[in-house]
Structure 1
Amino acid sequence: MTALDEPGRTARSMWAYFESVHAVTYLHPRARAAYEAVGLRGYWRGYFAGRAAPLGATEAAPVIAVFFTFAPPMVARALPAVWRLATPPEALRARLTGAVQALAELTYELPESHLAEAADLLERAAAAAQTAGRVLGAANAALPVGEYPLARLWQAATTLREHRGDGHVAALVAAGLDPVETLTWRVARDGSPPQYLLGRGWSEEQWHAARERLTRRGWLTEDGTTTEQSRADFQAIEDATDRAAAHPWQALGDQDTDRLRELLEPIARSGHTLLPESSPLGLPALPG
């Protein structure tokens, strides 16, 4: 494993900031209310409809592939049934409305000029994202640009988030990890409760089978703790993800990337008050 280079380190640093902007759409009450207003009652209906909507009125199979960590039966229960409750355009409007309202609560002390400059720079980074082979990143990049700064900011953050996530899934697949193995290892590493797995539709039997596979692979000890080799191997996956996500920041340039980090800092820290680092969403820690 080689040391992560500067572009990769920059990509990881910037992820910590724009992920906080994107993540409001998952847990903020305003986001939930916006989905419910179009008939998507219940957290998972809103989640699957909102996140899958850029793909159009898709069936379950493509979403099982690109979302990666969810058990196929769980996805199949949601899709295509959610499209009878709200069309993809309605789901897209709901997710953007909820995200903007949530961000408005978190940024009310910041001047409009601050938000507009942040949106301009983040849009430039998102526009430079190379989307070949990245289904969710490409689908979000193709959406119309929002009219107001918070809408533009959230949409750019979401494009970059899904672009990075596509790259992470590719790195996991290349390393030979399946979805339930990936989650099982993270539960062991972080001490997360098993509900992290069960909440994504995997059964206890599937969890135990994944633990056995990881033990045979040398990633877990017999008592279920992670091994030094597994931690090094997973760090290599994270490093590959960072390298694959570096181009937008190289295109933006060091000076503008530093300025964007400065502008996103207060927004991201406000977001962390809503979504703590212990969240199953895996919100990355901010520096300092």
Structure 2
Amino acid sequence: MARRMWTLFEPVHAVTYFHPRARAAFEAVGLRGYWRGYFAGRAAPLGPVDAPTVTAAFFSFAPPMVARALPSVWRLATPEEALRARLTGAVQALAEFTYELPESHLVEAAELLEEAAGRVDMAGRVLGAVNAALPRGEYPLARLWQAAATLREHRGDGHVAALVTTGLEPVEVVAWRCRVDQSREFHQPARGWTDEQWSAAEERLVEKGWLTPEREPTAHATETFRSIEDATDRAASGPWRALGAERTARLRELLDPIASRCRTIIPPQAPIGLPAQRSAGVTLPG
């Protein structure tokens, strides 16, 4: 259930990274360039934080890539301005995808997703907690997106915590995944790792038993990562137990057409880990 619900609220949250209206909203407050908007928008609930804090919280990015954006983005836009921009852009994007749906559909979806987001355990989930603490939106689409953002970051916090137990470094996690079912050509520049760092990471993965000398995933690694995914799902299951099976099923019905439309603007190789629709998969922290 936790995995299925994630595939429905994650696309709602992700419009803020991929929709042209969301990009335009960031640019309107001075955050030109994709990564300025990404780092400022996602980090803004934390306040005017510096690069080491965001590198630790986001997990999979190379430190120099984060340092190119932070803390300098706060000279272009304050966290408050970044928060307004990301919500404005997300609402405009969602309005484009949902204009054919009745308002009652959106209101009910927002209310149920808000209730689920209000049931999460925030202990140890910093990004989830700071998003949950933001003011409640005035309109259904704002409330829907904010609830999706809280649940997404809550799940991501739990996933990072589970990944830490493997003893792998962030670059090793990304490099291993790209030997499983992702593209190094896409993911390496998207996370900022150099060729030297990537090659060294693969060598360490061989030493640690996660890759064979031929750079194929080992059975041990596949089984270990599956256990990490199971732990991620367990840590994210609380809201759905609290909401109950019947109301969770209703929320699935309401989110399904919204999520399907949101997914149309998410690139197939986007490093947020979404599996193909209606199927299960493994995730990367995004």
Q: TM-score surpassing 0.5? A: yes
Structure 2 residue 229 is matched with structure 1 residue 238: yes
On the 8 A contact 2:26/2:37 being kept in 1, the answer is yes
Task: Report what 1:257 is aligned to.
Answer: 248
> What's the offset of the Cα at 1:20?
1.0
* Displacement after TM superposition at 1:142 (Å): 0.2
Instruction: Tell me the matched-pair count.
Output: 279
In structure 1, the residue matched to 2:284 is none
Identity of aligned residues (%): 69
| Aligned with residue 121 of structure 1, among 93, 112, 120 | 112
Describe the superposition over 1:184-241 as per-residue Cα deviations: whole angstroms up to 9, x where unpaired: 0111111413341222111111100110111112211222221222111101001000
For residues 128-277 of structure 1, the aligned pairs below 5 Å read: 128-277=119-268
CA contact (8 A) 1:53 1:92 kept: yes
The alpha-carbon deviation at position 122 of structure 1 amounts to: 0.2
For residue 4 of structure 1, what is the aligned residue in structure 2? none
Query: 1:11-60: CA deviations, max 9, x gaps?
Result: 11100000011011111100100000000000000000000000001111
> Matches of residues 47-86 of structure 1 in structure 2 within 5 Å?
47-86=38-77
Maintained 8 Å contact 1:220/1:226: yes
Structure 1 residue runs without a partner (length 5+): 1-9
Question: 1:5 is matched with which residue?
Answer: none
CA distance in 2, matches of 1:52, 1:127: 21
RMSD: 1.1
Give the Cα–Cα distance (whole angstroms) in 2 for the partners of residues 284 and 114 of structure 1.
Answer: 26
Deviations 1:111-165 (A, max 9, x none): 1100000000000000001111111000000000101010000000000000000
The Cα offsets for residues 238-270 of structure 1, whole Å up to 9 and x where unpaired, read as: 100000001011111111100000000001111
The answer to whether the 8 A contact 1:180-1:210 is kept is yes
- Give the one of 4, 7, 12 matched to 1:13: 4
Task: Name the SS for the 2:84 alignment partner.
Answer: helix
Q: Any unmatched runs of 5+ in structure 2?
A: 280-286
- What is the letter of the counterpart of residue 129 of structure 2? A
- Structure 1 length-normalised TM: 0.94
Alpha-carbon separation, structure 2, partners of 1:107 and 1:215: 47
**Which letter maps to 2:170?**
P
> Residue 100 of structure 2 corresponds to which residue in structure 1?
109
Runs of 4+ in 1 over 3 A off after TM superposition: none
Q: Report the alpha carbon displacement of residue 277 of structure 1 after superposing the two structures with TM.
A: 4.1
- Within the candidate set 13, 25, 50, 2:16 is matched to 25
Letter of the 1:158 counterpart:
A
Contact between 1:16 and 1:285, CA under 8 Å: does it hold in 2?
A: no
- Cα distance in 2 for partners of 1:149, 1:220 equals 47
* 1:39 lines up with 2:39 in the alignment: no
**C-alpha spacing 1:195/1:284, structure 2 compared with 1 (3 Å):** closer
Quick one: distance in 1 between partners of 2:150 and 2:190?
Answer: 25
Cα deviation code 1:46-91 (max 9, x no counterpart): 0000000000011111111100001111111211100000000000
Alpha-carbon shift at residue 276 of structure 1 (Å): 4.4
